[in-house]
């Protein structure tokens, strides 16, 4: 009996080795099978996007192809986990010559994926039609930059975003601050915080810091401040070390968290960002630096994670000022940071032309309009579409028209995530009481280890 069991097990093992995994490819006849993947899943993370692809894009695209006499079958491969885990899975797939035909990646991964050979220039994978896609003319230069690496287009951008200062108008009213507040320097932010504090607001200012919030600390914290002080993490191929701009940015952290204007504990908790959302919605936070996601997905009265019924009346927003007028990057008065996702054709795709057609279809005006219907509005990459769908969306219009022209992007290179962690650690140190100069010096030391020596750091 036991022998038989062993035999069964061994046979099963053999079978497993021989028979499994003939999952993709292999269409019969001239049916073209395509797969498309996003970090989205019905009933979970980014459910709306998953539903849109499954219920609108796929049937419409298949029908359009059929009308052209082509038999195309498209399958959506959902994911919906942590971005880092999605990235890991995607990397492993792409490395092994697998993965869906059309894939979504975060714009910040473009450089490292390109360096690794996981993604290739669209012109090489697809052909000239990728360069001559009619949508490019509708996409602003800066947004195209998200999908560009070393002068070549690797993907189509599928959207962008921007950061602003949100504030609670009720709390502002009590503190004697204007409802149309627009600070012009960091000092004015501090002044507003001080007034809020004396009027009894528990957390006058929340600017993300520390490692617990991860990339949120960089994007909604140290990077916009760095830009406001005239600095960038990387400029002309050289990394910025313990520059004056970084010291200034860290100095603002010290003023806020050392001066009782922010809650240092909130920066350390593993779920601190969620808490900051909750507290803003409960009227405990006066000023909060966040992206447009905060408006769309957090305080959204309809389906936000911390809904505010009176969002439209009670939540104000302002541009992030430079340390002093004219002292931001490029001599700007105001600054912001932007990111955005990309969609591209897997270099391993058996049908790159059709895959690109599918990709372009998801970014056609009609698809973008459909996707952003029913309160699911976001800033699309296309100006022609944005004009139409952002009407009646004051915040998104504000970001699209006022913020995007002055925004900045992160360097799309493989070591950026580590540099970002080092920056987060610098903010954590300052919140914990280290002097900004010391934290900046420590950052420079770490940076040297990450980017391969002092030679790659601008002096």
Partner 1 sequence: MTPRFVLGRIGFYTLIAVLLAFFTIPLLWLVTAPFTSDPTYEVRWPDFTWENFQAVVEHPYALPSLWNSLVLSVGTALLVVVMAALAAYALSRVRLPGRDALLYALLLLSSIITGTAAMVPLFQLAVELNLIDSQLGLILILTGGLLPAAIFMLKDFMDSTPKSYEESARVFGASPLQIVRHVVVPLVRPGLATIAVWAIANVWGNFLMPYLLLSDVEKQPAAVITYTLYTEGGQANLRMLSTFGLLYSVPVVLMYLFVSKKYGFRFHGGIKR
Partner 2 sequence: MAQAISPPEVLDDKAPGRDRYSSDAAGLGRLRAGVFVAPALLLIAAFLVFPALWVLYLGLTNYRLTGAAAAEPRFVGLDNFLDAIANPTFWNSTWLTVQFVLGSAVIGQVVLGFTIAWLLRDRRGPLKRLVEGLVILAWILPSAVVSFLWVALLDRDGGTLNALLGIPGFPWLLDHPMLSIIIFNTWRGTAFSMMLYGAALGNVPPSHLESARLAGASGWQQLRDVVFPHIRGHILTNLLLISLWTFNDFSPFLLTAGGPDGRSEVLAVHVYKVALQSGELGYGAAVSTIILLINLVVAVFYLRLLRSKK
Residues in contact with partner 2 by CB under 8 A are 6, 9-10, 13, 84-85, 87-88, 91, 95, 109, 111-113, 115-118, 210-212, 265, 268-271, 275, 413-415, 417-418, 421, 425, 428-429, 432
Number of Cα atoms under 13 Å in the Cβ half of residue 397: 8
Closer CB to partner 1, 46 or 383, in the complex: 46
Shortest reach from residue 219's CB to partner 1, in Å: 12
Applying the rule CB under 8 A, the residues between 76 and 135 that interact with partner 1 are 77-82, 85, 88-89, 92-93, 95-96, 98
Closer CB to partner 1, 96 or 132, in the complex: 96
Quick one: how far is CA 403 from the chain centroid? 16
Shortest reach from residue 273's CB to partner 2, in Å: 12
Give the total of residues touching partner 1 (CB under 8 A): 44
Say whether residue 374 binds partner 1 (CB under 8 A).
no
Give which of partner 1, partner 2, none residue 282 binds (C-beta under 5 to 8 Å, depending on kind).
none
Give which of partner 2, partner 1, none residue 331 binds (C-beta under 5 to 8 Å, depending on kind).
none
Say whether residue 23 binds partner 1 (CB under 8 A).
yes
- Contacts (Cβ under 8 Å, ≥6 apart) of 1: none
What sign does the dihedral 218-458-326-260 (CA atoms) show? positive
Applying the rule CB under 8 A, the residues between 226 and 285 that interact with partner 1 are 271, 273-274, 277
Give which of partner 1, partner 2, none residue 11 binds (C-beta under 5 to 8 Å, depending on kind).
none
- Binding to partner 1 by CB under 8 A, coded x per residue (else -) over 41-80, reads xxxxxx------------------------------xxxx
Closer CB to partner 2, 201 or 358, in the complex: 201
Say whether residue 414 binds partner 1 (CB under 8 A).
no
- Catalog residues that contact partner 1 under the rule CB under 8 A: 1-3, 5-6, 9, 12-13, 15-18, 20-23, 41-46, 77-82, 85, 88-89, 92-93, 95-96, 98, 271, 273-274, 277, 293, 297-298, 305
């Amino acid at each position: 009996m036991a022998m038989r069991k062993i035999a069964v097990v061994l046979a099963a093992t053999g079978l497993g080795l021989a028979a499994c995994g003939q999952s993709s490819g292999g269409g019969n006849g001239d049916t073209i099978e395509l797969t498309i993947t996003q970090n989205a899943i019905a009933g979970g993370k980014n459910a709306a996007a998953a539903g849109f692809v499954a219920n609108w894009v796929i049937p419409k695209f298949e029908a359009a192809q059929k009308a052209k006499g082509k038999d195309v079958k498209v399958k959506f491969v959902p994911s919906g986990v942590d971005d880092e885990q999605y990235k890991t899975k995607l990397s492993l797939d792409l490395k092994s010559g697998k993965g869906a035909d059309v894939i979504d990646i975060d714009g910040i991964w473009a450089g490292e994926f390109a360096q690794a050979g996981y993604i290739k220039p669209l012109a090489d994978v697809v052909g000239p039609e990728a360069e001559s896609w009619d949508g490019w003319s509708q996409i602003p230069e800066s947004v195209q930059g998200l999908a560009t690496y070393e002068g070549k287009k690797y993907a189509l951008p599928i959207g962008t975003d921007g950061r602003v200062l949100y504030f609670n108008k009720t709390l502002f009213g009590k503190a004697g601050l204007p409802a149309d507040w627009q600070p012009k320097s960091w000092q004015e932010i501090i002044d507003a915080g001080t007034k809020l504090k004396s009027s009894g607001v528990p957390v006058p200012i929340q600017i993300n810091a520390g490692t617990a919030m991860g990339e949120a600390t960089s994007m909604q914290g140290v990077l916009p401040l760095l830009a406001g002080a005239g600095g960038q993490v990387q400029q002309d191929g050289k990394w910025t070390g313990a520059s004056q701009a970084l010291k200034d940015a860290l100095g603002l952290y010290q003023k806020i968290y050392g001066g009782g204007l922010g809650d240092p504990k909130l920066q350390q908790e593993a779920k601190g960002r969620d808490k900051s959302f909750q507290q803003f919605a409960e009227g405990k936070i006066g000023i909060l630096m966040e992206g447009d996601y905060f408006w769309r997905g957090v305080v959204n009265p309809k389906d936000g994670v911390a809904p505010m019924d009176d969002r439209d009346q009670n939540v104000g927003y302002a541009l992030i000022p430079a340390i002093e007028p004219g002292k931001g990057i490029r001599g700007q008065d105001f600054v912001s940071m932007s990111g955005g996702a990309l969609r591209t054709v897997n270099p391993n795709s058996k049908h790159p032309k059709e895959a690109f057609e599918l990709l372009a279809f998801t970014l056609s005006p009609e698809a973008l309009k459909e996707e952003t219907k029913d309160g699911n509005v976001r800033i699309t990459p296309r100006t022609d579409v944005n004009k139409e769908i952002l009407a009646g969306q004051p915040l998104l219009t504000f970001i699209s028209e006022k913020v995007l022209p002055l925004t900045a992007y992160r360097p799309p290179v493989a070591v950026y995530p580590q540099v970002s962690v080092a920056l987060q650690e610098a903010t954590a140190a300052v919140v914990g009481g280290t002097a900004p100069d010391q934290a900046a010096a420590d950052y420079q030391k770490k940076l040297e280890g990450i980017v391969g020596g002092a030679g790659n750091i601008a002096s």
